Amino acid sequence: MSSASSHEGKRVLITGAAGFLGSHLCDRFIKEGMQVVGMDNLITGDLRNIEHLFKLKEFEFYHCDVSNFIHVPGRLDYILHFASPASPIDYLKIPIQTLKVGSLGTHNCLGLAKAKGARILVASTSEIYGDPLEHPQKETYWGNVNPIGPRGVYDEAKRFQEAMTMAYHTFHGLETRIVRIFNTYGPRMRLNDGRALPAFIGQALRGEDLTVFGDGSQTRSFCYVDDLIEGIYRLLMSDYHLPVNIGNPDQITLKEFAEEIIALTGTKQKIVYKPLPQDDPKQRQPDISLAKKLLNWKPKVNRAEGVKITYEYFKSLPKEELYKQPKEFQSRK
């Protein structure tokens, strides 16, 4: 897309900067020649994801919670709101914080964008489609979400986020962008975050059986992180304000995926089956026709290549990371 020189002097705020996607976004926008302001409360983020950036003059970091009042001195040209727990193991433990960052946090970011005259992109999710009755899912599909189910705290937070963002666009004329992100993987994921890929690889590395929920026939579509970041960047720089799916439409059943991980890692362990969690989506596959047409974007990294890179990353982590338990989150109102 654009050359770095065209962004010289531009300044971008990235919330959730120490998270999996946020940290990759920081890298990308610094590479584009921008000044990056990272913000994170470190509930699920990890400073190790961005420690390589602290020595750069192009990077600054604020340790704060966007659900509270936020202020960033100086100009801002862009805001990318990526602060939120993003895996069930997190948002089931901190449901209220999850709802707050999607509502109050989004409101604060939109208010800041309005005050600064900045363009804002918010990170929505394929979860707004719930357990979809349409397959694959187009942006025009309204979804099949259980608002009071265990996943509702995340799904409804993101649905509200989209509604609030559209209201700011319509009422205040704010430049807004909405990306609906499908399953993404790559280096800097947490091994213990509960999602399928890190769970399978973590179990294989520990010599444990791989856990598949239900009969394993439910599908997922995995997009490598570099492809996703490219799609997000193109959407931010576009003139389109309605939601856009970014993901890889190459779907696979979770049973088949577990078998791929066993083959890749060479583990002798087997697959074990456990009951399917409530409201777990049976199918998840993006229709990316709009992204292809609008952004000239499609994923380039195939699953075999991306999973191998991710596996090597997990193998390189300190041994204690393999056995690290998920964070115990402090209970807050």
224-265 confidence digits (pLDDT tens): 999 999 999 999 999 999 999 999 999 999 999 999 999 999
* Cβ–Cβ < 8 Å for 168, 65: no
Please state whether the predicted TM-score (pTM) of the whole model is above 0.75.
yes
pLDDT of residue 3: 45
Whether pLDDT at 295 is above 90:
yes
Give which of 139, 122, 123 is closest to 174, Cα–Cα: 122
Task: Quote the CA–CA distance of 171 and 25 in Å, as a whole number.
Answer: 29
* Cβ–Cβ < 8 Å for 190, 46: yes
Write out the DSSP string of 177-221. Answer: EEEEE--EE-TT--TTS--HHHHHHHHHHHTPPEEEETTS--EEE
Residue 73 DSSP symbol: -
Rounded average pLDDT over 137-158: 93
Question: Could you list the active site residues?
Answer: 154
User: Could you report the per-residue pLDDT of 158-188, keeping only the tens digit for each?
Assistant: 999 999 999 999 999 999 999 999 999 999 9
Task: Quote the CA–CA distance of 168 and 176 in Å, as a whole number.
Answer: 8
> 220: which 2 tokens?
């997922």
User: Could you report the per-residue pLDDT of 120-133, keeping only the tens digit for each?
Assistant: 999 999 999 998 99
Rounded average pLDDT over 219-223: 91
Residue 44 has a CB neighbour count (10 Å cut-off) of: 27
The pLDDT-based confidence of 323 (bands split at 50, 70, 90) is confident
The pLDDT-based confidence of 333 (bands split at 50, 70, 90) is very low
Task: Quote the CA–CA distance of 308 and 317 in Å, as a whole number.
Answer: 15
| CB-neighbour burial class of residue 5 (10 A; exposed 0-12, middle 13-18, buried 19+) | exposed
The pLDDT-based confidence of 200 (bands split at 50, 70, 90) is very high
The pLDDT-based confidence of 279 (bands split at 50, 70, 90) is low
> 76: which 2 tokens?
């801002």
Rounded average pLDDT over 266-291: 87
Whether pLDDT at 2 is above 60:
no
Residues present in the chain in total: 333
Cis peptide before 136 (omega within 30 of 0): yes
Q: What is the CATH number of domain 4-186+224-248+284-301?
A: 3.40.50.720
